[in-house]
Structure 1
Amino acid sequence: MEFKRARSDEQRNERRRQILATAAAMLTEMPVADVALNELSRRVGLAKSNVLRYFESREAVLLELLDAEVQAWLAELEPLLQPVGGTPRERGDRLAAALAESLARRPVLCDLNSAQASVLERNVSTEVALHYKRATRRTFETLGGLVQRCVPELGLQDAARLGAVTTLIAAAAWPYSQPPAAMLAAYAADPELAALRADFTEVLRQTLEVTISGLLVRGEDRSISAERAG
């Protein structure tokens, strides 16, 4: 296919959208580790050097996809995380379940998130890093607002902390919940080992429940200390 340079901003943006859409489609077929720039270029119908006109690296493509996946997740959470009755702990448990279950429904997001620190942030420029980290900060602010809507007793600071913890625990738990063929065969051969396989939703839900409970107790302790000091 003869390469035709995109001349206008609209054409360049369309070319970027095509590259991102192709990479997103690949992620429904294979894990992040298997998404190669050569194959991405082939599927887009461009030489690798031409793909690099629009994104500086494979990792830059995937970081942008990660942000898009996160924004879609936040849009899904918006109607789910609504104020409801119950004690702070009961509302915290429901929040933990909603966060865990919503992430489990998004395997592409979880795979990208688990590769973020170890892979996706390793081959990008300062400019790309700044763009992504600023987007991440906005994500935590948005997620913190949704969390505080459900459990206002957490306060804004602890709600933001919970958003960061959710991302970190999900990143750690996801690889363990996706064992390779050899591990699956070992679990099948010895049922006593099957308990070692992590269930992503349960690990994340239980960890968030404990975290929320701890933050609530610490918040109460701070309030009591402030009252005594006053």
Structure 2
Amino acid sequence: MEFKRARNEEQRTERRRQILATAAAMLTETPVAKLSLNELSRRIGLAKSNVLRYFESREAVLLELLDSEFQEWTAELESTAPADDGTPRERGDRLAQLLAASMAGRPVLCDLLSAQAAVLEHNISTEVAIRHKHAARQNMRTLTGLVRRHLPELDAEGASALVETALLMAMAAWPCSRPAEALRAAYASDPALAAMRMDFTEVVRRTVEAAASGLLVRRGWDAAGHGL
């Protein structure tokens, strides 16, 4: 791909979009840890120094991509109408399944989330950090609002706690559910060890179910939907 120098804001915006799209495509082939700025530059046909005209670092590229992936995920979730039948606990269980399955269907999002604190939020400027955290704050608000539509029995604090639980478990479970080749071979060779392999969707679903049930009880709702 050959690029000419971007000479106005529209062209610069398009160049940034192309860089992000290329990074997103690369992440369908390779994990975050192996995506290098050199390879990204080669894929888009730009010198590394020219990529750095648009993003200050590899991490800045990936943080913006994380924000975009998160927005697409919440938009997908918002298109799913919340069920109004069943007890609060039953609706909480359905919400847990929805969150777990939808995240499992977005491996790029999960990979970026799992690398966020330890990798992506390093090697960035304060300006990039502020922009990213404002976007993350808005994404969290959107997701908290969605949880409250599915579980109106939870107040804003409870819904926010459920969102935090789901995301933290996803961040921890994703890399554990993607074992290295040696571990995959070990699991395949011994049924007793195979039982230790983590199923991402299942562990996130169970954790969110338990958290939702606990939060409902702490806010005065029993399993049948009666106030305590």
Cα deviations across residues 108-139 of structure 1 (Å, max 9, x unaligned)?
A: 11001000001000111111111111111111
Residues 37 and 58, structure 1, Cα contact 8 Å, conserved in 2: yes
Higher helix share: 1
Q: 1:2 to 1:100 in 2, by over 3 A?
A: closer
Percentage identity across aligned positions?
Answer: 67
Counterparts of 1:27 and 1:117, CA distance in 2: 18
Cα deviations across residues 189-214 of structure 1 (Å, max 9, x unaligned)?
A: 11100111000000000000000011
The aligned residue for residue 224 of structure 2 is: none
The aligned residue for residue 159 of structure 1 is: 159
The code of the aligned residue for 2:110 comes to C
Counterparts of 1:150 and 1:64, CA distance in 2: 28
Matched, 1:132 2:132: yes
Counterparts of 2:117 and 2:167, CA distance in 1: 11
Counterparts of 1:84 and 1:175, CA distance in 2: 35
Q: 1:66 to 1:114 in 2, by over 3 A?
A: same
Counterparts of 1:170 and 1:50, CA distance in 2: 35
Counterparts of 1:89 and 1:54, CA distance in 2: 47
Matched, 1:90 2:86: no
Partner of 1:153: helix, strand, or coil? Answer: coil
The aligned residue for residue 148 of structure 1 is: 148
Counterparts of 2:109 and 2:179, CA distance in 1: 17
The aligned residue for residue 13 of structure 2 is: 13
The aligned residue for residue 119 of structure 1 is: 119
Matched, 1:109 2:73: no
Show structure 2 runs of 5+ residues with no match. 222-228
Residues 81 and 95, structure 1, Cα contact 8 Å, conserved in 2: no
The code of the aligned residue for 1:11 comes to Q
TM-score (norm 1): 0.93
Partner of 1:193: helix, strand, or coil? Answer: helix
- Please, which moves more after superposition, 79-88 or 125-134? 79-88
TM-score (norm 2): 0.94
Residues 22 and 44, structure 1, Cα contact 8 Å, conserved in 2: yes
Residues 2 and 45, structure 2, Cα contact 8 Å, conserved in 1: no
C-alpha displacement of 1:2: 7.7
Residues 83 and 149, structure 1, Cα contact 8 Å, conserved in 2: no
C-alpha displacement of 1:81: 4.5
Partner of 2:195: helix, strand, or coil? Answer: helix
Cα deviations across residues 36-66 of structure 1 (Å, max 9, x unaligned)?
A: 0000001111100000000000000000111
The aligned residue for residue 180 of structure 1 is: 180
Counterparts of 2:217 and 2:81, CA distance in 1: 22
Counterparts of 1:11 and 1:128, CA distance in 2: 21
Counterparts of 2:34 and 2:43, CA distance in 1: 14
Residues 99 and 205, structure 2, Cα contact 8 Å, conserved in 1: yes
The aligned residue for residue 226 of structure 1 is: none
The aligned residue for residue 30 of structure 2 is: 30
